[in-house]
Amino acid sequence: MGILSLITGWPGPSGFGSASTAEQVSDSIDASDLTVIITGGAGGIGLETTRVLALRGAHVIIAARNTKAANKAKQLILENNVNAKIDILELDLSSLKSVKAFADSFKALNLPLNILINNAGVMFCPYQLSQDGIEMQFATNHLGHFYLTNLLLDKMKETAATTGIQGRIVNLSSVAHLYTYEQGIRFDKINDKDSYSDKKAYGQSKLANILHANELSRRLKVLSFCFYMCLSSFNLNFYFVKIEMQEEGANITVNSVHPGLIMTDLMRHSFLLMRIFKVFTYLLWKNVPQGASTSCYVALHPSLKSVSGKYFLDCNEYTPSNFATDPELAKKLWDYSYNLVNSL
C-alpha cells in the first residue's frame, strides 16, 4: 500500500482500499448478535461507524461527552433505519472519574460486550491539563481509553466465553504517530509546558494508541498455566519448583487503525491550516464514509478472526513506525499508564 494506491483507490490484499466505504467493507455481514461500544460515536467518522454498525444489526452504545449531540445523531440514524438499536451513555475521556462512572453505568445495564471501538479524541489543541492534571491530548486520546478498556475487559472476556464469539477491540490511531517527540513517548515530560508542541503531542498520543493495542494483544494471547514439580531427595528433604506464565489467553483481538485524512470537527483547533494543507494534498483525502471503512472492517470482517496486534491502513495490514513496533516501549507505556491511573 503506497501513495499510488491511496490516490487511485486500488484495493490491496484484503480486496478493499482507500476508496472503499464502511458500507462496502461490511456488506452482507450480520452483526445482529453483537453489542458494541464506540467512543465519540456522535460525530465525524464515529457517527458513520455507528450508523453502519447499526445498519448491520449491531446494538451500539454511543459513549459521548455531549449527550445532546449524541441524541441528535441517534435520531438522524433512526430516520433512515427505524430498527437501529442505539443507546447513549455519557463519557468524558479526559476525566478518569467519568470513565469509571461510564463503565459502572454500562455494567448496570447487564448487556454483553463484543466490540469496543476507542474512536474519540482531540487534535492539535493548545496546551492544557485534564481534570486529573494530565496533558489533554495524552489524557483524552490514550489514558482515558486505556482505563476504559481495562475496566471493560472482564465483561468482554465473559461475553466471549459465554457466547463463543471472539471479542474485538479497535484503537483509532493515525499516521501522525510518525511525527512525535524524539523519545517517542516523553514519560518524564508528559506535562512539560515549555517544550509542548501541539502537533508532536498529538503524534505521541496516537503512537500510544498503537503501543496500547500491541501490548494488550500480547497480554491476551498466551494461555496461562502453572506447573508444579516436586523433587525428592533420598533423604527427608523435598523441593518445590513453581513455573508460571502470566498472560491470559482470552478470546479477544486488539488492533489499531489509521482512518485516513478526513476533514472533521476534530481539526477545529487548526482548521485554517488543514484547509490550506488540503489544497495541496487533495488527492490524499477521504470523505467520511471512506474514513469509517477501516474501523468497520477491523471490527466486523470475518477474515480478521484471530488477527491481533496489527496496524491497519485503508483496510489492509500495514507496518507502522519503529517506535510503534517496539515491544519494550509498549511494556513501558503499559506500566506507566497503569501506575498513573492508580495514582490519581
Categorise residue 35: left if φ over 0, alpha if ψ from -120 to 50, beta otherwise.
Answer: beta
Say how far residue 214 (Cα) sits from the centre of its chain: 11
Closest by alpha carbon to 204, among 336, 313, 42, 112?
A: 336
Query: Does residue 179 have an active-site annotation?
Result: no
Report yes or no: 54 and 84 within 8 Å, Cβ to Cβ.
Answer: yes
CA atoms within a 13 Å half-sphere pointing along the CA-CB vector of 261:
15
Backbone phi, psi, residue 165, to 5°: -95, 125
Q: Active-site residue among 196, 202, 297, 336?
A: 196
Categorise residue 255: left if φ over 0, alpha if ψ from -120 to 50, beta otherwise.
Answer: beta
Instruction: List, by residue number, the catalytic residues.
Output: 196
